[in-house]
Amino acid sequence: MSTTTATAIPTTPVDATALSAPPKAGRKEWIGLAVIALPCLLYSMDLTVLHLAIPQLSAQLKPNAAQLLWIIDIYGFLVAGTLLTMGTLGDRIGRRKLLMIGAAAFGVTSIIAAFSTSAEMLIATRALLGLAGATLAPSTMSLIRNMFQDPKQFTTAIGIWISAYSAGGAIGPLVGGVLLEYFWWGSVFLISVPVMVLLLIVAPFLLPEYRDPAAGRPDVLSALLSLLAVLSAIFGLKLIAQDGLSLVPLVSVALALVVGAVFVRRQLTLADPLIDLRLFRVPGFGPALAMYGLGVLVLFGGFLFVPQYLQLVVRLSPFDAGLWSLPWALAFVAGSLIVPRLTGRFGTAQLMSGGLAIGALGFAAITQVGPESGTAGLVLLSVGSVAFSLGMSPLFTLANDLIIGSAPPERAGAASGLSETCAELNGALGIALFGSLGIAVYRSAMPASLPGVPAESLEAARGTLGGAVALAEQLPPLVSAPLLEAARAAFTQGMQLGATISAVGAIGLAVFAAITLRHARTGGQSAHDAPPPSHPDHPTPAAEREVVPAT
């Protein structure tokens, strides 16, 4: 039995603008954002926290030099190589589902890694951690695209998401130092387990589910091609950074370019490509992606020398070096949170250009830090790093806003995967280019001979600052002092040159942003104004496809 209740018809006119305005996120969405920010924090922590555990790990598992390199690198390699595939997979099977699968795998694999009994076992588990970690960034970023439809809220959410990554990278060494002070090396892996358990418990209640119901079957060959291209590129660039130009890294980079070209050609012929390259036709998408990648290159390159400077030149402990790194990380977090409040007053291009100009001043300050600057040098280094962190934060926040906001909702996972892959590749490129340049400057500035130092030993010391410090520990003080002075001065010259190039690069990016993004709008507005990309074999526009909500 039912009753009918009359409903009064409003007599006041309805605001058409209010009806067409996107819905605002409520408490549930903001709590959900806090939940998905936690695994992002842990993801970036896992890239840095292991470095402090290397001495204990080496003593117990006794890996050889090659195994130790793979233990450190395999995580980042697998993350970078599978981001594209994971982003598209989330669009197909559901972003919340993929996030929960990845969180469960990350938690279980972390436990296995913590109790590894051999180097081979740890390498394998680190590889699985990389696969699981690759689900986190695309899934969380694409979920934000659907959870926060209001432009201003969307920009704020992206800023918080970026802040989580920055905070994770900053507190990784500190948390690792505290854990290793009281526990064994495996404890650095276990810190992620409670967070992943929490995510699995609350995700079904706080996070919506979205997927593209019109997506076809995944193309396995495209996934393999993307993996091979990215891994070959990063492997080659890393070898160049470590050992300089040689045949093996050049062949690896060449293979990446060839496979990448085959991958792109295949995407243009597939009815349902892994990556819809027509995203680049959306206004603002291509320039924003270029800005993001080049910004990562400039930041990685400029900051590459700072941790080594703190530990090997100023001679701080890893924990103290982590403390001196906190100001720049906190500045990046603060900048990422302030940017959304400024978007109403300034345009995207203005914020990016102005921030990059401030970043250039920060890099310029670092060029004035010398090998014997003492406390004043540490303060100047801290001020400079705070300035470039604040200055670069608008670029990272607004570029991601434009990249994800300009993509159609059902392609947000693919766009975020493309964004993060671009960041990984340019980060590796920045390390390779600036690292090779720093080594070249270091070798040219080191003297060819020093009194009391054997020629063959000095040749090893001329390779890296770490080698010079290790050699100095075996020599008498009267001999080691001039060696260390020369090595630290040579390394500082490389750091100063790197900071100079980053300052010039930041100015160039500021001009590029002012020219190419002067009409860009953040908060996903461009996605509503521009026609979404489509494929000739898919006549249905992406905007007309249904995005499946939570069930």
pLDDT at res. 170: 67
Q: Report pLDDT digits (tens) over 534-544.
A: 443 443 333 33
Q: Is the pLDDT of residue 398 over 80?
A: yes
**Taking residues 343-357, what's their average pLDDT?**
83
pLDDT at res. 361: 92
pLDDT at res. 533: 42
Q: Return the CA Rg of the chain.
A: 25
For residues 155 and 406, the model is more confident at 155
Q: Is the pLDDT of residue 17 over 70?
A: no
For residues 346 and 511, the model is more confident at 511
For residues 138 and 417, the answer to whether their CB atoms sit within 8 Å is yes
**Taking residues 24-49, what's their average pLDDT?**
76
Q: Specify the range with the lowest mean pLDDT, choosing from 41-55, 229-243, 319-333, 364-378.
A: 41-55
**Percentage helix, strand, coil for the chain under 3-state DSSP, each rounded to 5:** 75, 0, 25
Q: Is the pLDDT of residue 545 over 60?
A: no
pLDDT category at 66 given cuts 50, 70, 90 is low
pTM, 2 dp: 0.72
Q: Report pLDDT digits (tens) over 131-167.
A: 888 887 777 777 887 788 777 777 788 888 877 777 7
* Distance, CA of 490 to CA of 175 (rounded, Å): 32
* Distance, CA of 225 to CA of 256 (rounded, Å): 9
Q: Is the pLDDT of residue 408 over 80?
A: no
Q: Is the pLDDT of residue 77 over 70?
A: yes
Residue by residue, DSSP assigns 470-527 as HHHTTS-HHHHHHHHHHHHHHHHHHHHHHHHHHHHHHHHHHHHHHHHSTT--TTTHHH
pLDDT at res. 529: 41
**Taking residues 202-208, what's their average pLDDT?**
81
Q: Report pLDDT digits (tens) over 88-104.
A: 777 777 778 888 898 89
